Structure 1
Amino acid sequence: MNTSAQPLHTETAPRLEIRNIHCSFDDRPVVDNVSLTVQAGQVTCLLGPSGCGKSTTLRIIAGVEMQDAGEIYVDGKLICDTVYRVPPERREIGLMFQDFALFPHLSVADNVAFGLKGTRAEKRARVTELLEKVSLSQYIDEFPHQLSGGEQQRVALARALAPRPRIMLMDEPFSGLDNRLRDGIRDETLSLLKDEDTAVLLVTHEPEEAMRMADQIALMRGGRIIQQGAPYNVYTNPVDRAAVAFFSDVNVVKGTVQGALVDTPFGQFLTPGHPDGTEVEIVFRPQHVRIDFDRNGSGPLPTPTHGVAARATVERARFLGHESLVEFRMEFDGSIQKVTVPSVFLPEAGRVMWLTVPRRHCFVFPK
C-alpha cells in the first residue's frame, strides 16, 4: 500500500483537499481532473447543472465511489488515492442528503445517537446538546413520522453532527423543503456547522442557494471545475457566456472586431485580446439595462459610461412580485432583449423606448 505519501504541513493544511480527481463510468469521464480545498469552518459549494459530476465528487470524498486517479487529504493526511484507502467509516466525514434517511422505527434520540460511541450517559448528553441547538429537544422521544419535513431535516443534521465530523458533505439537502422553510433552515444549519468549526462541501444546482450559503463557489460543467472563487468574484467576473447565464438570464448582442473595437447599436465596445475579424458576443444581464423614455423620436445623448441608446418597442411587461420584467423588440435586428426593474413598471405593449447598457456590466466573449 502507498502509505508513505508525504503529509502536508498540518499547521497550514486545509481541512479537506482533493487533488486531480478523475473518475470514469464506461470510459466516459464523469469527474475530470477536479481539485479544490475547504478550510475548517468554511462552506464551499459545488455548483452546476444536473449530471456535471457534483454528486460523484462527493461520493468519492465520502469513500462510496473510488476514483481512477487523484488523491484526497484531510488535515494534511492522505486518506485515499488509487491504492491506499481509509474506509468510509474512519474518515470522520458526515453526510447529509435530500431524503434525510432517518430510521422510521427509531425515536429522534435514537436516530441522533446512531453510530455514537461512549457510555449511555455520554450519548444522551450529546444528543440532548444537539437537539437543543436545533430547537427540537421537546421531540426527543418522538418518531420521524410525527415531525414536519423541516424538523426531520434538523434531526438529520443533528445526527450527522453527533460524531463531531471534521468535514460535512451535503448533497442538495434543502431541495425537499418548501420555499417558506428553506431559507430559515439553511441559515440555522450554516450557523450550527460554523459553531462546530466543520468544513462544509455543499452540492447544489441552484445559484441563489450557492450565493446565499457559500464562502467559496466551485462552478462545475462537464465533470470539470471551470471557475472557483468567492461568490462575488464568480458572479462579476465570469469565464464565459455559459457562466454568466448560469446565474441569471442574459442578453446578447453580436459583432465583429475591428481595431480592438466592435460596433453595435449600443455604441462601440473595447475588445482587448481579440484579433480583427473575430466574431464576439456582448453579454449583459437584464437588471443592468437602463430604460429611457422617447423624446419626440430621440433618446438620451451618448455617454462614455452608458454608450449609445438603442431604440426598442415594448413587447410585453409582467410584474413578478419583487420586480418587473419588460421584454423589448430591438429596432436594429428584431431581437428580444429582457430588462428587469426593481419596482412596478408596466409600460403598454407597442410603446417606443430607448435602452442603454453600462459598459462596466458588460462581458465580451468569442462567439
Structure 2
Amino acid sequence: MNTAPEVHLMQVTPRLEIRNLVRHFSGRAVVDDVSLSIQAGQVTCLLGPSGCGKSTTLRIIAGVEMQDSGEIYVDGTLICDTHFRVPPERREIGLMFQDFALFPHLSVGDNVAFGLKGSKEAKRARVEELLARVDLLRFIDGFPHQLSGGEQQRVALARSLAPKPRIMLMDEPFSGLDNRLRDGIRDETLSLLKEEDTAVLLVTHEPEEAMRMADEIALMRGGKIVQQGAPYNVYTRPVDHAAVAFFSDTNVLKARVQGALAETPFGDFLAPGLPDGTDVDIVFRPQHLKIDFDRGGAGPLPTPSDGVAARATVQRARFLGHESLVEFRMDHDGSVLKATVPNVFLPAAGRVMWLTVKRNRCFVFPR
C-alpha cells in the first residue's frame, strides 16, 4: 500500500517577538497586552493616533523603558522580562528617530563610524560602503551642517545600519522631511533595510506611510493592537468603524436590524448574527459612492452589486488636484454624503443626482 510522504513544515523563529507587553503610567495602561512578531527582512508598522502607546512600545523594545510585565525575544532568545534584562547596547538593535541626532562636531564619516568596533581599516571600509549605498560618499569628510535635511536623514540611516543590527526601530523618522523628498527617501531606506535583511518596526501615525512601507500593519488604539495583518487586509477588512476612518474619510448610514437585514434608502443590507432591534452603522468610503444623472425624476434601476439608487442634491464640489470631492444632501433625511471622483467633476450646487453604493465595499457595524 502506498502512503503519502510526511511533510514537515519548518518553523521559522521570528527575529523579534514581543509577548504580552504591559506598561502603566499613573495607573493607566499605556501599553496593554501588546504582542507581535517580525521576521528578518520584514517591515511591520505600528500605526495609530498620537498617545496610543506606539512610541512607549518602541522604547521598551530598545531597552530605554521597562515594562511592567511581558517578554521580549530576539531570534528566540529572551532579552528582557521583569526579572532579566539585556542592556540596550547589547541588544543589537538600531534606532532611528525624527531627530536625526547627528554629532555636529564629527564629520559625516565619523558619525557613521560612531559605535563601530574593529580595526580602523575595517571601520573605514564599512563607512564607505554604506555612504556609497546612500549616495553620500562624496560628503564623507564634510559635516552635518553642510547637508540638507534629506541628506542628514540618510547619514542617520547609514549610522544606524553600520553595526549591522538585527532589528531596526524607527519612530516617525520621515516626519521632519518635506513632501517632495519624503517618498524618495522612504523608498531608498526601505530598499537598504531589505538588502541588509533587517527586521524593522516602524512607528507612524500616517496611514499612507504604513501602506507604502509595511509588509504588515499593527493598528494600535488605547494601548492595544486592535487589528494586525497585511496592509490590503487591514484596509479592506476593518474590525470596526474607527479602523475604517483611520485610513480615509467615511460615509455612514444609520439603520436598525430586522430579520438579519438593515433597511436604508439604498436598499436592504445583510446584518447576519445581529439581533432584531440592533442599531447599526453602515460605513463606506467616498470613492465607493457612485453618481448617476437624474432622468426625468428617476434614477438607475436597482442592481445586485449597487443596490437601490437614492436621490440627493449637490451641496458643494471641489477639485483637489487628482480627484474631485462632491458633497450631497440626501433627500430622505437631510444627511450629507461625500463622493470622490477621479479627475475633474464639478456639478453645480443645487443639481439633483442619484447615488448608489457598492455593496461589497460597505461595512456593517453595531453602533
> Is the TM-score greater than 0.5?
yes
Please, what TM-score do these two structures have when normalized by structure 1? Answer: 0.97
1:26 is the counterpart of 2:18 = no
Deviation at 1:304, TM superposition (A): 1.1
- Between the aligned partners of 1:323 and 1:47, the Cα distance in structure 2 is 26
Please, what TM-score do these two structures have when normalized by structure 2? Answer: 0.97
Report SS of the residue matched to 1:262. Answer: strand
Residue of structure 2 in register with 1:289 after alignment: 289
1:162 is the counterpart of 2:169 = no
CA deviation profile, 1:127-150 (whole Å, cap 9, x unmatched): 000000000000001100000000
Pairing 1:83-162 to 2, within 5 Å after superposition: 83-162=83-162
Residue of structure 2 in register with 1:255 after alignment: 255
Report SS of the residue matched to 2:170. Answer: strand
User: Where does structure 1 differ by over 4 angstroms across 4 or more consecutive aligned residues?
Assistant: none
Report SS of the residue matched to 1:327. Answer: strand
Deviation at 1:227, TM superposition (A): 0.2
Residue of structure 2 in register with 1:78 after alignment: 78
Residue of structure 2 in register with 1:173 after alignment: 173
1:49 is the counterpart of 2:55 = no
- Between the aligned partners of 2:283 and 2:354, the Cα distance in structure 1 is 18
CA deviation profile, 1:67-121 (whole Å, cap 9, x unmatched): 0000000000000000100000000000000010100111000000000001111
Residue of structure 1 in register with 2:66 after alignment: 66
- Between the aligned partners of 2:292 and 2:125, the Cα distance in structure 1 is 64
- Between the aligned partners of 2:240 and 2:189, the Cα distance in structure 1 is 33
- Between the aligned partners of 1:25 and 1:38, the Cα distance in structure 2 is 27
Residue of structure 1 in register with 2:183 after alignment: 183
Residue of structure 1 in register with 2:364 after alignment: 364
Deviation at 1:277, TM superposition (A): 0.5
- Between the aligned partners of 2:121 and 2:131, the Cα distance in structure 1 is 15
- Between the aligned partners of 1:343 and 1:270, the Cα distance in structure 2 is 33
- Between the aligned partners of 2:342 and 2:175, the Cα distance in structure 1 is 27
Q: Sequence identity, in percent?
A: 81
Residue of structure 2 in register with 1:208 after alignment: 208
Residue of structure 2 in register with 1:351 after alignment: 351
- Between the aligned partners of 1:361 and 1:319, the Cα distance in structure 2 is 24
For the aligned residue pairs, the C-alpha RMSD in angstroms reads 0.8
- Between the aligned partners of 1:50 and 1:290, the Cα distance in structure 2 is 34
Pairing 1:173-322 to 2, within 5 Å after superposition: 173-322=173-322
The residue type equivalent to 1:296 in the other structure is G
Deviation at 1:26, TM superposition (A): 1.2
Give the length in aligned residue pairs.
358
- Between the aligned partners of 2:11 and 2:115, the Cα distance in structure 1 is 30
- Between the aligned partners of 1:271 and 1:342, the Cα distance in structure 2 is 31
The residue type equivalent to 2:271 in the other structure is T
Deviation at 1:11, TM superposition (A): 6.3
The residue type equivalent to 2:83 in the other structure is V
Report SS of the residue matched to 2:344. Answer: coil
Report SS of the residue matched to 1:60. Answer: helix
Pairing 1:8-23 to 2, within 5 Å after superposition: 12-23=12-23
Unaligned runs of at least 5 residues, structure 1? 1-9
Deviation at 1:12, TM superposition (A): 2.0
The residue type equivalent to 1:242 in the other structure is A
The residue type equivalent to 1:29 in the other structure is A
Residue of structure 1 in register with 2:7 after alignment: none
Deviation at 1:343, TM superposition (A): 1.1
Report SS of the residue matched to 1:292. Answer: strand
Residue of structure 1 in register with 2:4 after alignment: none
Unaligned runs of at least 5 residues, structure 2? 1-9
Deviation at 1:228, TM superposition (A): 0.2
- Between the aligned partners of 1:189 and 1:207, the Cα distance in structure 2 is 18
The residue type equivalent to 1:182 in the other structure is R
Deviation at 1:14, TM superposition (A): 0.2
Residue of structure 2 in register with 1:4 after alignment: none
- Between the aligned partners of 2:75 and 2:102, the Cα distance in structure 1 is 30
The residue type equivalent to 1:169 in the other structure is L
CA deviation profile, 1:202-224 (whole Å, cap 9, x unmatched): 00000000000000000000000
Deviation at 1:250, TM superposition (A): 0.2
The residue type equivalent to 2:42 in the other structure is Q
- Between the aligned partners of 1:283 and 1:323, the Cα distance in structure 2 is 21
- Between the aligned partners of 2:83 and 2:284, the Cα distance in structure 1 is 48
- Between the aligned partners of 1:362 and 1:12, the Cα distance in structure 2 is 37
Deviation at 1:342, TM superposition (A): 1.1
